[in-house]
Every structure is written in C-alpha cells, then in structure tokens.
C-alpha cells in the first residue's frame, strides 16, 4: 500500500512539474495614445482598456461583440511603472479566450480621461489592429494569436505621459506611449507529460527493485 501511495504521488509530481512553471513574457508591443478636451482643464488621470471585437452572424443579421478589460486610473506619477490585470479583473477571462482561440480577432487599445470636475467634451485616439499585427514579432509560424499558451496576466508599462494646453485652441491635451506585455506559459504537449510521467515510473520501479 505504501509503495502504491508513493507511486501515485510521483505521477502527480511529474505532471505538476510540467504545468506549473513561472509565468514569462510571451511578447510585447508598443502603442501611442493621446487626446484632447473642449476646455483648458487638465486631466488628472487616464483609464486604459483593451477590448476585443468579434463579428458574428445570426440569420440575416451581423452583430458586433465588444468587451473591455480596464486598468486602474494611471497618472503622471506612474511613468516608468507597469500595472497589471489578471483573472480577478472583470472580463479578463473573456479577453484571454479570444487571445488564444487561433482566430485573428480585432483588438482595440483605448482610454478615457478623468477630470477633477465634470468631464468636458473629449476626443481620444483608439488604436485598433488585428491580433496578427500586434503579435507579429513573436508569434510562431502559422499562428495568428497566442493559441497554445496559458495567459496569466497583462501589464501596461507607462513609458511617457504628457499633458498641456494647446497654443492654438487654448484647450487641454494629453499624449504618451505604452508597452503592453503578455505574461504566461506554453501549454505542455500531452506527449511531454507522458514522457515525464513514465520516466518517473521507471525511476520508481528501479528504486523498488533495489
């Protein structure tokens, strides 16, 4: 009975050792952002979001589905910092599902400006591209997204954040750039799990014989 228990434990350890490595960067990409308002009030912060857009058909109609993952409000003091979202963030699981479904979905990076008073009329740059464009520098051949990976968190690094008053209009503006980093790990192939498990069994068998 003792040998059986040890054997089961060894199998579980072998499987767990394959599937529980530390998250590593799966890739990064940069994007610019900016906007302006209808008066001279400067924003006190920016709330970023990443959303996926999926078109689907029902009968003769085409519908657009869009869901966003939001970061906490970013201020000028956050320049140089990386802020993360993970599976405890609303809609994170839905975003991950579309990042890993092997389909070239449309991804938007957009933001809302936050003001001390009631928000003035604003415009903001929305950066939109297919996943294959965002991830082109680090995708394996024939992949259009992060299919085959387990995504654990997404970080936004604030590289630059500037605010000011336009000399032409007298209205406020803001601009900057971000680095988006996706963290996770490749999902192990079933064959890899089997090799490690059977390796453990052979090792255990040798110990028992001794």
Q: Is the pLDDT at 195 greater than 50, yes or no?
A: no
Cβ pair 106, 123 in contact under 8 A? no
Q: Tell me what the mean pLDDT of segment 10-18 comes to.
A: 48
Cα angle at 88 between 105 and 77, to 5 degrees? 90
Would you put residue 59 in left (φ > 0), alpha (ψ -120 to 50) or beta?
left
The DSSP H or E segment spanning 98 is helix 92-99
Q: Is the pLDDT at 137 greater than 50, yes or no?
A: yes
The DSSP H or E segment spanning 111 is strand 106-114
Per-residue confidence (pLDDT) for residue 66, from 0 to 100: 73
Q: Is the pLDDT at 201 greater than 70, yes or no?
A: no
pLDDT digits (tens, 9 = 90+) for 19-75: 445 688 898 899 999 999 999 999 999 999 998 876 666 777 776 777 899 999 999
Per-residue confidence (pLDDT) for residue 206, from 0 to 100: 54
pLDDT digits (tens, 9 = 90+) for 160-181: 999 999 999 999 999 999 999 9
Per-residue confidence (pLDDT) for residue 208, from 0 to 100: 56
The CA distances from residue 118 to 22, 40, 63, 121, 122, in Å, are: 44, 13, 33, 10, 12
The domain ranges of the chain are: 29-209
Cα dihedral 103, 70, 154, 149 in deg (nearest 10): -30
Q: Confidence band (pLDDT; 50, 70, 90) for 194?
A: very low
Per-residue confidence (pLDDT) for residue 207, from 0 to 100: 58
Q: Tell me what the mean pLDDT of segment 143-170 comes to.
A: 95
Per-residue burial over 125-160, b if 16 or more Cβ lie within 10 Å, else e, is eeeeebbeebbeeebeeebbbbbebbbbbbbbbbee
Q: Tell me what the mean pLDDT of segment 139-150 comes to.
A: 91
Q: What is the pTM of this model?
A: 0.76
pLDDT digits (tens, 9 = 90+) for 66-110: 789 999 999 999 999 999 999 999 999 999 999 999 999 888 999
What totals of helices (H) and strands (E) does the chain contain, helices first?
4, 9
Q: How far apart are CA 51 and CA 24, in angstroms?
A: 23
121 vs 48, higher pLDDT: 48
The DSSP H or E segment spanning 4 is helix 2-19
Q: Tell me what the mean pLDDT of segment 200-205 comes to.
A: 55
């Amino acid at each position: 009975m003792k040998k059986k228990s040890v054997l089961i434990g060894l199998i579980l350890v072998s499987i767990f050792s394959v599937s529980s490595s530390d998250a590593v960067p799966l890739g990064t990409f940069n994007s610019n952002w900016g906007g302006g308002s209808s008066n001279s009030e400067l924003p006190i912060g920016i709330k970023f979001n990443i959303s996926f857009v999926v078109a689907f058909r029902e009968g003769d109609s085409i519908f657009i589905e869009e869901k966003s993952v939001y970061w906490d409000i970013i201020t000028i003091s956050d320049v140089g910092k990386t802020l993360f979202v993970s599976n405890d963030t609303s809609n994170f699981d839905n975003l991950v599902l579309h990042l890993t479904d092997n389909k070239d979905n449309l991804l938007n990076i957009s933001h809302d400006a936050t003001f001390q008073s009631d928000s003035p009329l604003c415009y903001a740059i929305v950066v939109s591209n297919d996943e294959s464009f965002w991830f082109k520098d680090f995708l394996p051949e024939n992949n259009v997204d992060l299919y085959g990976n387990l995504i654990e968190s997404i970080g936004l690094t604030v590289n630059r954040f500037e605010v000011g008053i336009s000399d032409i209009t007298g209205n406020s503006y803001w601009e900057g750039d971000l680095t988006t980093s996706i963290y996770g790990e490749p999902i192990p192939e079933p064959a890899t799990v089997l090799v490690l498990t059977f390796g453990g069994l052979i090792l255990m068998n040798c110990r028992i014989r001794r």
